[in-house]
Amino acid sequence: MPSFDVVSKVQWSEIDNALLQAQKELSQRFDFQATGAVVEKTPEGLLVAANTDDRVRAAQKVVEEKLVKRKVSLRHVEKGEVQPGPKGTSKLLMKIKEGIEVEKAREIIKQLKDSKLKVQGAIQEAQVRVSGKNKDDLQAAIRLLRGLDLGIELQIVNLRD
């Protein structure tokens, strides 16, 4: 029975590359000199810190630009609020979202059922498996999923006959 998986995965190597490029730009740009602007990867996400709130927001824009240039969707990034940091500095945490949450998976399955296509969806951990009897129905389901706006980036993988 033909099937495919719907996932939401992040290319961590591209995030690391974008982070290195952002760090390099922050160290070289004149408007970031003596502001203490740093960007680092933490277990929670990407931490942006600087002396003032404005410099934190500007550094965040630099990181976002580098992510877009590396073809990492900003739908994977959940921006937090600027928080006061140690010694009068400011910081901002940008969380990286990966995987499909259960509510979003249920919404995907509901959309597939409402479309009257002859396919079935099943939630498997952080992905959704869609199966059907013929390939044409699966291709129609892929077109339907690409047209949805769920607020997360979806990829289609493991298309099997």
User: What confidence tens digit (pLDDT) does each residue in 19-44 have?
Assistant: 999 999 988 889 888 888 889 999 98
In this structure, the chain runs to a length of 161
User: What confidence tens digit (pLDDT) does each residue in 104-143 have?
Assistant: 889 989 988 888 888 888 888 888 899 988 888 888 888 8
Specify whether 111 is located in the same domain as 78. no
| Structure confidence at residue 158 (pLDDT) | 86
Specify whether 112 is located in the same domain as 71. no
Beta carbons within 8 Å of 82's beta carbon, 6+ residues apart: 53, 56, 57, 90, 91, 92
> How many domains does the chain contain in total?
2
Q: Domain limits at 61?
A: 12-96
Single out the residue in 96, 114, 146 at which a domain terminates: 96
Specify whether 80 is located in the same domain as 20. yes
Specify whether 28 is located in the same domain as 78. yes
Nearest one of 39, 122, 50, 124 to 89, comparing CA atoms:
50
Which is it for the CA torsion 79, 50, 57, 46, positive or negative? negative
CATH number at residue 78: 3.30.70.990
Specify whether 18 is located in the same domain as 68. yes
- Threshold 0.95, pTM exceeds: no
8-state DSSP, 74? G
User: What confidence tens digit (pLDDT) does each residue in 61-120 have?
Assistant: 999 999 999 998 888 888 888 888 888 889 999 999 888 888 888 998 998 888 888 888
